[in-house]
């Protein structure tokens, strides 16, 4: 019995994760709460301890970063205390301790990146005297990504490598170059090949002086010394290009993955209409006069667009839906995601029940969420649960018209262009007037929204924009 317990010891956390038992990562409204699995003494003599794994903060999260540890090794910890800050694809979230004890070992320190969900990041113990026993602790390999799976084939390659020098009298340097010439194939060392590519040197015109006729670095250098001017072409200037490699942020990696999936799997089609915004601008001016008098937030054109989109979704609920393999899910809540561009990437915080909120409330929420996005402090509840998205590149950037990519699992996104004045013909031959028009393009998932349904939604949206008083009823 003791032997069985020892075999089970130390692997309980990894076995739990493999079996689907939650060991880390649930969300509260304020911060991250942890679920831990208790470890026991192992054959290595480690005392009882707990493994803290990288938590899963959202259904799409597969990895995260450690922003910083607020506790250090040896510190006493109590329930509710913040251990560290975890950087996800959307925000930075605090991770709280659930049990009393001591932080014995920080496995992955400040700035650790691309940590798989479930990978061990720290060890806690109950007794202070046990802290020193984890000084040199290292988690078993394969603990996170493969759930503790280990390859039984790993020892043989090590043995094979050890036996090769005894069976082969050739020097190790021969491994750095390819085999001798065979037929029309030209063999060269990797360094010589790279040097030839950089200077556009044809290898077939060079006689190798290395072992078995291999072309080596010295052969390329001799060729360049004799025929350098002829060998160098304008293509060789490409090697002098100046550039900077910018590492992917979590938000950019997740955005890239989701939008690529969207474009590859969702049958997009696009509908564009022009909306006259003269009455909308006039109403906005009147409302902002009242807002300034009462100390409220100014109302933007985008706030009015979001309200109109929400009311149109309530009128045409087929567009407020998502596709699944078994059914179309039609939502009863109208939650509008609003695209916000920041230095870190694109965020889409959500305005919940936008159809039921007043313009003043919508304006206040959007400004608050946009600031949180720029500060990289959005919580999961700030961006999850949207049913439709609005992306406005017209007002902030002057883009005339564009087609946006659908934000899955939603089935529609509205792209808003910039308003411009146009000449409108009158009744008589010499009569005309000016009016401002704002183009909008609706991207639709054809599996959910048929063309006529998308056109019906745009008609409803245009009606609210061109008769904005109806939004206040």
Ranges of H-type helices in 245-374: 250-265, 278-294, 301-315, 359-374
Active-site residue among 35, 268, 274, 446?
A: 446
- Residue corresponding to tokens 């889409």: 348
456, 316 Cβ separation under 8 angstroms: yes
Burial 185-198 (b: 16+ CB within 10 A, else e): ebbbbeebbebbee
- Residue corresponding to tokens 């089970």: 8
The one-character DSSP state at 240 is G
The CA R_g of the chain, rounded to the nearest whole Å, is 32
Beta-carbon contacts of 330 under 8 Å, excluding residues fewer than 6 positions away, are 317, 318, 320, 321
The DSSP element (H or E) to which 433 belongs, if any, is strand 432-445
378, 347 Cβ separation under 8 angstroms: yes
Active-site residue among 212, 222, 375, 450?
A: 450
436, 414 Cβ separation under 8 angstroms: no
- Residue corresponding to tokens 């290595």: 44
Whether 368 sits among the annotated catalytic residues: the reply is no
Distance from C-alpha of 389 to C-alpha of 398, rounded to nearest angstrom: 19
Taking each helix axis as running N to C, give the angle between helix 451-466 and helix 301-315, from 0 to 180 degrees, rounded to the nearest 10: 130
Give 442's strand partners: 271, 414
- Nearest Cα to Cα of residue 349 among 375, 328, 329, 323: 375
47, 130 Cβ separation under 8 angstroms: yes
Beta-carbon contacts of 162 under 8 Å, excluding residues fewer than 6 positions away, are none
Distance from C-alpha of 154 to C-alpha of 343, rounded to nearest angstrom: 44
Distance from C-alpha of 397 to C-alpha of 381, rounded to nearest angstrom: 28
Q: Computed from CA positions of residues 314, 315, 320, 326, in that sequence, does the dihedral angle turn out positive or negative?
A: positive
The one-character DSSP state at 410 is B
Whether 446 sits among the annotated catalytic residues: the reply is yes
Ranges of H-type helices in 300-351: 301-315
Which are the catalytic amino acids? 446, 450
């Amino acid at each position: 019995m003791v032997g069985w317990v020892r075999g089970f010891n130390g692997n309980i956390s990894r076995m739990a994760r493999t079996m689907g038992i939650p060991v880390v990562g649930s969300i509260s409204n304020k911060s991250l709460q942890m679920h831990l699995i208790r470890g026991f003494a192992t054959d290595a003599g480690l005392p009882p301890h707990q493994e803290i794994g990288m938590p899963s903060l959202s259904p799409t999260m597969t990895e995260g970063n450690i922003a910083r540890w607020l506790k250090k090794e040896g510190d006493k910890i109590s329930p509710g205390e913040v251990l560290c800050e975890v950087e996800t694809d959307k925000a930075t979230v605090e991770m709280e301790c659930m049990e009393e004890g001591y932080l014995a070992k920080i496995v992955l320190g400040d700035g650790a990146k691309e940590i798989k969900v479930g990978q061990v990041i720290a060890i806690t113990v109950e007794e202070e005297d046990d802290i020193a026993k984890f000084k040199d602790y290292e988690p078993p390999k394969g603990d996170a990504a493969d759930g503790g799976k280990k390859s039984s084939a790993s020892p043989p390659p090590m043995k094979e490598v050890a036996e090769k020098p005894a069976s082969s009298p050739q020097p190790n340097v021969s491994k750095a170059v390819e085999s001798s010439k065979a037929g029309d194939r030209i063999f060269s060392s990797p360094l010589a090949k790279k040097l030839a590519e950089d200077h556009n040197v044809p290898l077939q015109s060079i006689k190798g002086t290395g072992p078995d006729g291999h072309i080596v670095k010295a052969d390329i250098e001799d060729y360049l010394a004799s025929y350098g001017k002829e060998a160098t072409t304008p293509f060789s200037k490409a090697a002098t290009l100046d550039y900077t490699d910018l590492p992917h942020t979590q938000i950019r990696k997740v955005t890239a993955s989701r939008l690529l999936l969207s474009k590859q799997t969702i049958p997009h089609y696009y509908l564009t209409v022009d909306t006259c915004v003269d009455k909308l601008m006039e109403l906005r001016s009147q409302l902002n006069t009242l807002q300034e008098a009462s100390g409220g937030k100014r109302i933007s054109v985008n706030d009015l667009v979001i309200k109109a989109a929400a009311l149109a979704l309530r009128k045409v609920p087929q567009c407020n839906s998502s596709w699944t393999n078994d059914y179309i899910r039609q939502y009863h809540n109208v939650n509008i995601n609003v695209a916000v561009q920041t230095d870190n990437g694109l965020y889409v915080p959500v305005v919940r029940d936008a159809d039921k909120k007043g313009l003043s409330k919508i304006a206040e929420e959007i400004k608050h969420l946009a600031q949180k996005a720029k500060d990289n402090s959005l919580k999961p509840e700030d961006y999850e649960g949207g049913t439709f998205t609005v992306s406005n590149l017209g007002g902030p950037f002057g883009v005339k018209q564009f087609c946006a990519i659908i934000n899955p699992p939603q089935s529609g996104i509205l792209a808003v262009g910039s308003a411009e004045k146009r000449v409108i013909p009158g009744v008589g031959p010499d009569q005309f007037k000016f009016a401002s028009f704002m183009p909008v393009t609706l991207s639709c998932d054809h599996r959910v929204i048929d063309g006529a349904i998308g056109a019906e939604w745009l008609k409803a949206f245009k009606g609210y924009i061109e008769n904005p008083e109806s939004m206040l009823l």
